[in-house]
Amino acid sequence: MDLDAAWTAFDSVAARDRGVRIVDQFAADPDRLSRLTVEAAGLTIDLSKQSWTREGMEAALGLAHGAEIEAARARLFGGEAVNFTEGRAVLHAALRARPGADYRALGEPVSREVKAVRKAMADYARAVRSGDEAGATGKPFRTVVHVGIGGSDLGPRLVWDALAPRTPDIEVRFVANIDRAEMDQTLTGLDPETTLVIVVSKTFTTQETLANAELARRWLAAALPVDGLDRHFIGVTAAPQLAERFACGRTFAFRDWVGGRYSLWSAVGLSCAIGLGPELFQRMLDGAADMDAHFRDAPLERNAPVLMAAAEIWNVNGLGRSARTVAPYAHRLRRLAAFLQQLEMESNGKRIRDDGSPVPRQTCPVVFGEPGTNGQHAFFQQLHQGPETVPADFVVVARDEEDRPQPALWANALAQAEALMMGKSLKAARDELIAAGHAPAEADRLAPHKTFPGNRPSTAILMERLTPETLGALIALYEHKVFVEGVIWRINSFDQWGVELGKAMARTILGEIESGQSRPHDPSTTALIDRLSE
């Protein structure tokens, strides 16, 4: 069945199954739980609370078959130009591959280069941690300030929050916002003599990153001797010559087949390799490599990224659901939703297909979230009783870093998922009010406000502990999910032209403000420029 025929079949099943209730499917489909629970790379993924019937799931998987996911997957791992608008391979899997791998980018061998950069990162991280690599005055580094934005910030920030020890030998701080307040806050309390600044920019032309890097350099230069200042300034980029021109004392390079939001596995993760130690960083790569192997080898019907993509497409295109929430019940994963916002919305927030024609359907939903249980006291009201159904991903960690069980977190995560699915009927709400002593008329008045429609889907992702391996696997799981969705929607998940127009216009407006020579704009923009320039 080709993709067009698969979409026709999908639409037919979705229209027929639109009103079915999730909870009823467990009785109608006795092996539903086992069929929709997958173990992969230390994660347990339970999709049994999704909205589909068995036929709906098969129709969604029919899209994967119709889109020839296996062939697309082979092109991805084979280093072909799957980023077809920029003519680039996409090989973040090569960055975390096991020894002996032989990845190629458009036919060019890259695994030896990856190995060399990984060794250089580890050697430098060890030297910084031991004090052999020291600052201009000979003092060892105690803090790394990581300067980046977007994919050069979100991934490393997520990793550091997730894995950092409570009392790190070397602290890592992050600066992304061009608002001077973030840099001021980050530098507060730091000693320039013991501070290492790592500037991360793929092109080394990113306006926000270079502005912040210049602020950091001035701060260092005001306190340190010129001789040795460059030891405090490291560049990570795919344009090393520009980093050297910026007076970075050392540069770690990565190639253009490393997309920004897929780059934390590369030298972009140097700050984390220093702060966590290269051995721990390597363990995270190993966990991601395990998920790569699962994605590459598992049949589609038992393939966790494929099933998660199929569930998303069932919700978005089958049932018209335009948002999804992510609720990690682990404080250390507090940046997961922010990371996934970029990974998913920048990758698949597209409207043009591979042949240049408009996408006839909704693509990526809006992704948002907060850690549980915080989110329960913020937006879960809307999830339970709002008019729009918003699917949820619940990420649950069984034991904390000290191997202590966390039953309060489990109970809340599992209860929220069950409540979203089960709901509460008008009769049940009224009966509860009567049992609590309310008069019948008062029970009739209040009961509608205490009903829950239920039938709201969720996916549960469980891990025994948040380790470097399970974190790597979790991130890679979502990376591959995004890829599968993009193939089915026939869009390019690896470019980001949508961020360019506003950036170009910002440069124009900034130049006008600085020169005092304004060009014509729309009336609103002109008035706002005038007001802010007063």
Q: Where are the domains of the chain?
A: 3-80+298-495, 92-283, 498-533
**Do the beta carbons of residue 442 and residue 261 sit within 8 Å?**
no
Same fold, 3-80+298-495 and 92-283: yes
374 CB-near residues (< 8 Å, 6+ apart): none
Does the pLDDT at position 61 exceed 90? yes
Tens of pLDDT, residue by residue over 202-218, are 999 888 999 999 999 99
- Phi, psi at 271, each rounded to 5°: -60, -40
Identify the band that residue 360 occupies on the pLDDT scale cut at 50, 70 and 90. Answer: very high
Residues in the chain, total: 534
Range 64-87 average pLDDT: 98
| Percent above pLDDT 90 for the chain | 92
Amino acid at 426: L
Q: Give the per-residue pLDDT at 499.
A: 87
Q: Give the per-residue pLDDT at 87.
A: 97
Does the pLDDT at position 160 exceed 90? yes
Q: Which CATH number fits domain 92-283: 3.40.470.10, 3.40.50.10490, 3.50.50.60, 3.90.650.10?
A: 3.40.50.10490
Mean of the per-residue pLDDT values of the chain: 96
Q: Which residues are catalytic?
A: 346, 377, 503
Tens of pLDDT, residue by residue over 325-350, are 999 999 999 999 999 999 999 999 99
Does the pLDDT at position 517 exceed 90? no
Q: Give the per-residue pLDDT at 39.
A: 98
Q: Give the per-residue pLDDT at 534.
A: 78
In 41-91, beta strands by DSSP E: 43-46
| First-residue to last-residue Cα distance in the chain | 64
Identify the band that residue 401 occupies on the pLDDT scale cut at 50, 70 and 90. Answer: confident
| Percent above pLDDT 70 for the chain | 100
Tens of pLDDT, residue by residue over 260-276, are 999 999 999 999 999 99
Residues paired with residue 459 on neighbouring β-strands, in sequence order: 393
Identify the band that residue 403 occupies on the pLDDT scale cut at 50, 70 and 90. Answer: confident
The phi-psi region of residue 235 (left if phi > 0; otherwise alpha if psi is between -120 and 50; otherwise beta) is: beta
Tens of pLDDT, residue by residue over 219-258, are 999 999 999 999 999 999 999 999 989 889 999 999 999 9
Amino acid at 137: T
Domain 3-80+298-495 CATH class label: alpha beta
Handedness of CA 77, 78, 84, 88 (dihedral sign): positive
Lowest-pLDDT choice from 77-81, 302-306, 515-519: 515-519
